Structure 1
């Protein structure tokens, strides 16, 4: 290809500038018309103007111009690149090879097919969100799912808001404003984004009454903290950390008995609450919502998008009279969920009616219980594919790993896994090279997200399903190192 610049072929930059076509002339070409058909006249005009301004600055600076292109072709090509870049959604699908199944930064739980179909229908058709089909009058959106939630949890009533932090905030605002809430010091957790239980209480207008010490709290600590200003006793499940050693905590049923003897309600924030005993699937056990209700808790709050495996939501279940008070609070409207959340949540909850099929149908549970042997076979299939794409500068091996559940659930427990490990081929520390590789993986059309640890890039295959394996392998050829 020949190049034309300010010091070749006798063309001065000013002469080249004079040959840059007007925007209207570029718009009249067939190439620009095809772009207009796709993006509309307004965007294309703006993009061609921007491309024209850039070209003029480059010509004045003496930047070579590829003479195999006409000015019109170059301007349309540059405009299309701008428009394609602008049109690319910021929320994009990625390959989650971090080893964390419920990764908060990557969207947590993946919805099962039943929920996806329900959301598509809710997106494209009118729905009876707040319309009672039986009476023809206005309905309550909670009525769509509260009966199902109560069936699965054993609670008298239920309501749904947009996440579990909102569920706790609404509960405290409705029941404990300007009053005291008794909580063990060892349960004052901080969740993602630096949101802390004491801060949520403060925003709710409730006063925190800390009892016990970080590692030990006794029933008498709860007893001695109760006074005329006490609104409720509260326990917070420490799902995102664990304290070991010389420790003691008070059970839900003991705190509930004390609360009821004093005429007070007792609330439990389960965080990433589960509706089934995970131990039956070979996973570490977690207290279920039903067991917590059966133990005497008057209110239980938990997430929809963690161990439950559904959309982002905060569920509040418990005594009917308390749920009524919560639903009447002004914050309920501000924190309520929309039709898409309800459309996704109901079919997920429906899956729990057939527990014998849950492992197969609930995406989160299927990923958490995926056999390590499946991932080992997958890593052997993909090892050479990735090695070929990376070249001799890197060494790729298939190795055992340890996944984690994520999103604060069972923080000290690990799941046997398998994946690909990339190291510097020459045995040297590969810090910069691995960071460059990680960046290149994130720059792929469908970004690949792994993790760097122990001077290696680890790609845990737990969340790489069979349907995505071929796409991942095909993308490896597009790596630009």
Structure 2
């Protein structure tokens, strides 16, 4: 039977006549579709061949081929700065500026006043100086690059003193000791994992000391019997010995998070005021902009960093620059609610609950009785390595299924169009509404109902 069916499969040329657009994608999809048709026959999953069945197989492959690999998803995880989902989303107003820049030409490296070649990050330099009170600015493509560049420019061949408790590893195996080795700097760790004193730094200083380094621990906190040296103390020590102080802030924030009931997190402005010579931080975390590594500080040191050959290799492109400038203008005008990260962090519980109840209503009316659905209070995360122990109150739509797997529901939602990323907890699927926008609710409900039908139909 199988061999007979295999003989009935038409040639590629004949099938292409059924899909006559002639594109390369279509030709590849036809071949893949026919291969899957043969496999289905050999695995005894098909018992007849018709034009309708052939069309079904090929159409599925064509649809798959036409999709982009990088696609928009609905974030129902409740994690605001989700590294796997692109970190900080940007506002529509910022996106419009980006569209204007990338669909035409721009003055990326042209000084419109003089008509001569300019410096690309000059376009955000004045904004960053105004917002932070720093003397000078350099911007590269991410904060890991910023750390590498600063260490390479200021401490290659010299010792960099850092607390043992700050020798962090963050996502993607980014380790401070490894970056330091790559830069040519010599790691000199002091103190212990939980306690480092000012005298530890002072006793480690030698003629070959190039920098005193302070690193934000980002993804973790050491609690209990702990002690660390604050930025001001380190600056005083650096001044005493003529050694610059560099602080890697990780997720640099321009806003005091205590306004939103969260624990203290140093702002970029605070660290500048403390006198730290060089500071670096990410653009796409608490700043809520594009991926970038922002380096600010004393003019003499920033000029040295700018002149380093690595600076060109690590520079930002016009898209990053457009998003960063537009976001910084929102900060300048104190339009914080236009920055999605801060809008989500500051959103009151009642509006999140209202969205959860709206989704619940759309689903409860149409889901079969085998589904249990409810609105519950939960905790969301800020994410992105920022404030690792902090959570925010949120509301979720919780779904469980009698005699069915919530894991299967989760997997199928991820393969919907658009993909929906929720989270599993205690054997139930949670759709966290803190990170779901109002305009996404209708689409989200359709995706959930589509997956529910697939599960019921088997």
Query: Which TM-score bucket, shorter chain as reference?
Result: over 0.9
Unaligned runs of 5+ in 1: 7-11
Shift of 1:55: 5.3
Q: Which residue of 1 aligns with 2:93?
A: 114
Contact 1:441 1:448 in 2 (8 A): yes
1:104 aligns with 83
For residues 371-393 of structure 1, give each alpha carbon's deviation from its aligned partner in whole angstroms, at most 9, with x where no partner exists. Answer: 11112222222224334555333
Match of 1:261, SS state, is helix
Pair 1:447–1:21, CA change in 2 (3 A)? closer
Instruction: Decide whether aligned partners of structure 1 residues 46 and 467 sit closer, same or farther in structure 2, where only a CA change above 3 A counts.
Output: closer
**Rg bigger for which structure?**
1
Measured in 1, the distance between the counterparts of 2:143 and 2:376 equals 37
Q: Distance in 1 between matches of 2:38 and 2:163?
A: 68
Q: 1:9 maps to what in 2?
A: none
Deviation, structure 1 residue 22: 4.6
Q: Does 1:215 align with 2:194?
A: yes
Quick one: which of 228, 233, 249 aligns to 1:270? 249
- TM-score by structure 1 length? 0.88
Is the CA contact (8 Å cut-off) linking 1:170 and 1:332 kept in structure 2? yes
**Secondary structure of 1:352's aligned partner:** helix
Q: Does 1:310 align with 2:292?
A: no
Per-residue CA shift, 1:160-187, capped at 9, x if unaligned? 1111111111100111111110111111
1:372 corresponds in structure 2 to 349
Contact kept, 8 Å, 1:223 with 1:258, in 2: the verdict is yes
471 and 210 in structure 1: CA distance in 2 versus 1, 3 angstrom threshold: same
Alignment of 1:321 with 2:300, yes or no, is yes
Among candidates 445, 448, 462, match of residue 420 of structure 2: 448
Q: Which aligned pairs between 1:259-408 and structure 2 lie closer than 5 A? A: 259-355=238-334, 357-358=335-336, 360-387=337-364, 390-408=367-385
Aligned residues: 452
Q: Is the 8 A contact 2:164 2:191 kept in 1?
A: yes
Instruction: Give the alignment partner of residue 65 of structure 1, picking from 48, 61, 72.
Output: 48
Q: Distance in 2 between matches of 1:59 and 1:191?
A: 48
Distance in 2 between residues matched to 1:254 and 1:177, nearest whole Å: 25
Q: CA deviation at 1:215?
A: 1.2
Q: In structure 1, what is the Cα distance between the partners aligned to 2:338 and 2:116?
A: 36
Q: Which moved more, 1:470-479 or 1:285-294?
A: 470-479
User: How far apart, CA to CA, are the structure 1 residues paired with 2:61 and 2:427?
Assistant: 37
Q: Which residue matches 2:4?
A: 13
Deviation at residue 56 of structure 1 after TM alignment:
6.4
Question: Equivalents in 2 of 1:61, 1:269: separation in Å?
Answer: 57
Kindly indicate whether residue 409 of structure 2 is the aligned counterpart of residue 437 of structure 1: yes
Question: Are the equivalent residues in 2 in contact too, given 1:283–1:369 (CA < 8 A)?
Answer: no
Structure 2 Cα separation of the partners of residues 455 and 77 of structure 1: 35
* Runs (5+) with no aligned partner, structure 2: none
Cα distance in structure 2, aligned partners of 1:411 and 1:58? 48
Contact 1:146 1:158 in 2 (8 A): yes
**2:233 aligned partner:** 254
Q: CA separation in 2, counterparts of 1:418 and 1:23?
A: 52
CA RMSD of aligned residues (A): 2.3
TM-score (norm 2): 0.92
Equivalence for 1:472: 444
Q: Distance in 2 between matches of 1:320 and 1:365?
A: 30
Distance 1:174 1:379, change over 3 A: same
What secondary structure sits across from 2:363 in the alignment?
A: helix
